[in-house]
Amino acid sequence: MNLSTLARTSLLHLSPLRSTSSTRDNATESVAIEGRNINFSVNTRQGKMVPILKDCSIRIPSGQLWMLLGPNGCGKSTLLKILAGLLTPTNGALYVRRPKSYVFQNPDHQVGTNLSLQTPEASLTMQVVMPTVEADVAFGLGRLNLTNSEVRSRVSKALEAVGMSEYLQRPVQTLSGGQKQRVAIAGALAEACKVLLLDELTTFLDESDQMGVIKAVQNLLDISGEVTALWVTHRLEELEYADGAVYMEDGRVIMHGDAASISKFIKAKQSSYIDRINS
Ligand SMILES: Nc1ncnc2c1ncn2[C@@H]1O[C@H](COP(=O)(O)OP(=O)(O)OP(=O)(O)O)[C@@H](O)[C@H]1O
């Protein structure tokens, strides 16, 4: 999205909040992600303001895996990019625990890339080919002033958390799509990232790679107890791995809460749509 097309913004930064809901055993009571009445509009070339997000509010407890679902074009990626700090909302209030990391949809745009660009809101990564998985995960640590043994320890723990320890010396370009996604997540973890914003990671993956990535994310949340993940997906079946979910339509948050209720709600909508087109 072209930043020059953004409308004037009025963004309030929230302080860390407390939550009363918690479904993962080791979750704390604190909130890792909160957005209140987030609006986002773009100006078209004809000078018309087009609303993309309309009064979106979400609240995600720390230590949990939540999924963000909805039809094509409903605003999922836009909301995720706002949470990542890559886009600025037109107005609303926002809190996202730091450090936070946005992982791209296409693994080839993420792994072997890692040329970091820091903005006040987020870090962006650009493509530079790294020879091995170890070098790739370690790359972002270069700016942290760590000793070699600290770097090795962080890389090894991060790769262990995503089940990729045995790939340490593998050239990145020989990995499958799902393995590249897991290495990208390990890179964020090695930098002690507390919030993972994951944009349709499983879109380009086959079923076994898809499961590998979901399990890796679940595993690292279980191990750390303090990493929170928000996962954008189209796949309803992935909801069974989530602690909670947000369902959007036409730029609005329609439903927000436990994954089972949202799954039921979406299935009911789908079957009523199928009934309508069959009648
Ligand atoms: N710069 C822009 N100018 C005009 N419209 C835009 C711009 N960027 C995004 N949009 C529109 O905003 C809407 C939301 O886009 P977004 O990519 O957030 O949707 P999404 O739910 O992630 O879609 P998908 O599931 O297809 O990836 C879409 O209708 C898109 O066409």
Domain check: are 130 and 239 in the same one? no
d(CA 42, ligand 1 centre) in Å:
10
Name the residue at shortest CA distance from atom 27 of ligand 1: 72
Query: Which of 209 and 84 is assigned the larger pLDDT?
Result: 84
Domain check: are 167 and 126 in the same one? yes
Cβ of 105 closer than 6 Å to ligand 1, yes or no, is no
d(CA 233, ligand 1 centre) in Å:
15
Last residue of a domain, one of 142, 170, 191: 191
pLDDT (tens digit per residue) in 2-54? 333 344 456 667 665 444 444 454 444 699 999 999 999 999 888 899 999 99
According to the model, what pLDDT value does residue 218 have? 86
Least confident of 80-84, 147-151, 178-182, 246-250: 178-182
2 Cα nearest atom in ligand 1: 1
Domain check: are 233 and 265 in the same one? yes
d(CA 55, ligand 1 centre) in Å:
16
Average pLDDT, the chain: 82
For the complex shown, is ipTM > 0.90?
A: yes
Domain check: are 180 and 62 in the same one? no
Is 106 among the domain residues? Answer: no
Q: What is the CATH number of the domain that holds 94?
A: 3.40.50.300
Domain check: are 161 and 198 in the same one? no
Task: Name the strands in the sheet holding 91-96, side by side, starting at the edge strand that comes first in the sequence.
Answer: 10-13, 91-96, 31-43, 49-61
Cβ of 212 closer than 6 Å to ligand 1, yes or no, is no
pLDDT (tens digit per residue) in 87-126? 999 999 999 999 898 887 665 655 554 444 555 555 554 4
Cβ of 20 closer than 6 Å to ligand 1, yes or no, is no
Is 215 among the domain residues? Answer: yes
According to the model, what pLDDT value does residue 114 have? 44
d(CA 230, ligand 1 centre) in Å:
18
Domain check: are 82 and 200 in the same one? yes
Cβ of 77 closer than 6 Å to ligand 1, yes or no, is yes
- Provide the domain count of the chain: 2
Cβ of 50 closer than 6 Å to ligand 1, yes or no, is yes
- Whole-number percent of the chain with pLDDT over 90: 47
Q: What average pLDDT does the segment 195-219 reach?
A: 82
Query: Which of 142 and 75 is assigned the larger pLDDT?
Result: 75
For a mutational test of ligand 1's pocket, the pick from 38, 41, 53, 76, i.e. the residue with the most ligand atoms closer than 8 A to its C-beta, is 76
Domain check: are 149 and 92 in the same one? no
Query: Which of 181 and 37 is assigned the larger pLDDT?
Result: 37
Range(s) of the domain holding residue 53: 31-98+194-278
